[in-house]
Structure 1
């Protein structure tokens, strides 16, 4: 489980095909504290650490890295540009017992890829409008939570479109834009979306009552 509160930005430094796709991701974490087999959310995708190395020291010099294997299924269901050499990814380590739940409950399982339709500067913040597929449109609610590229966000408004899809808006404050990859998003970019786990169960119960 995760919270959608990003703790670092990593950079993909190597992409190797080994049956699955192996990524090496440079990060500011202390590699001595990264356990083999640990889960790290990479732009909203829960991945398992299979190797780690490098070092971290008090001077700020850091050549730490970890490696993950990404299946073809995962690549096919997520935003493709994050799996390339040089890509920047939002990082969050798995929630530990007793940690503060600062965002909302996030599983690290991407439900769909959304598309940035509008980006505007409004009052010092960044206004985004995201196009979402019909498959997840019923789960997106005004003032509800959604995870985008691993970041826990609040939906400002939702517009349901005639074809069953939806366009929803978000406000990205300068702090969030600075410490995550969201500040670099442009119109047309794909983003990983995970719906609120509570919305998922509520929709399932509603469907069962209507059956």
Structure 2
């Protein structure tokens, strides 16, 4: 499990395309300082397993399904990535519950800088919009953020906005955010569990998890 508090801005140093997979080597001196073979590290919000370590770098193998369902397919040497180690038991919980399981890919619609913060609008996949609420939590490329606004219009479809402080811009890859860039999204898992437990969105009289209809 992760918290969405990015520990380090790493860099992809190599990519090898394999049969229905890709192997990435990523530089991250901080996250590798105490890492071991088999540990989990979130890369742009995707939970990946360390397969090799050395000289402040680590290697991960990414299967085709993960490449197709996330923005990792666009990464190549020189790409900046957000890195976070799995949360240690007893550690501080600075963000929110993040599993490292991408729910969908959004597209940055606009970036609006101001003196003290920058507002980023992200187009949402239609199937995720019901899980997003104003002042709720969202994970964008592995960053735990608070939703500052939501909406839907003809130009962008469903969208959300987040307001980024200078520290977030400096310490994460959202500092390079530009319209058209694809980003990994993970919605608050609590919303998904609540929907499942209440049967929200199910047809009337459908029953839930094998329970008989009344």
State TM-score, norm by structure 1.
0.90
Shift in CA distance, 163/38, structure 1 to aligned 2, threshold 3 Å: same
Shift in CA distance, 104/88, structure 1 to aligned 2, threshold 3 Å: same
* Consecutive unaligned residues in structure 2, runs of 5 or more: 205-214
Hey, what's the Cα distance between the residues in 2 that align with 1:184 and 1:163?
A: 23
Counterpart in 2 of 1:158?
Answer: 150
Hey, what's the Cα distance between the residues in 2 that align with 1:31 and 1:201?
A: 33
Q: Secondary structure at the match of 1:207?
A: coil
Shift in CA distance, 190/208, structure 1 to aligned 2, threshold 3 Å: closer
> What is the CA-CA distance between 1:199 and the residue it aligns to?
1.1
Hey, what's the Cα distance between the residues in 1 that align with 2:132 and 2:155?
A: 16
Hey, what's the Cα distance between the residues in 1 that align with 2:201 and 2:47?
A: 29
1:105 to 2:97 alignment: yes
Counterpart in 2 of 1:67?
Answer: 59
Match of 2:176 among 160, 184, 200: 184
Give the number of equivalent residue pairs: 202
Are the equivalent residues in 2 in contact too, given 1:82–1:89 (CA < 8 A)? no
Extract structure 1 runs of 4+ deviating beyond 4 A. 161-165
**1:130-152 per-position Cα deviation (integer Å, ceiling 9, x unaligned):** 10011101001000000000000
1:17-28 equivalences under 5 Å are 17-19=17-19, 20-28=21-29
State TM-score, norm by structure 2.
0.88
Counterpart in 1 of 2:200?
Answer: 207
Shift in CA distance, 76/209, structure 1 to aligned 2, threshold 3 Å: closer
Counterpart in 2 of 1:138?
Answer: 130
- C-alpha root-mean-square deviation of aligned residues, in Å? 1.9
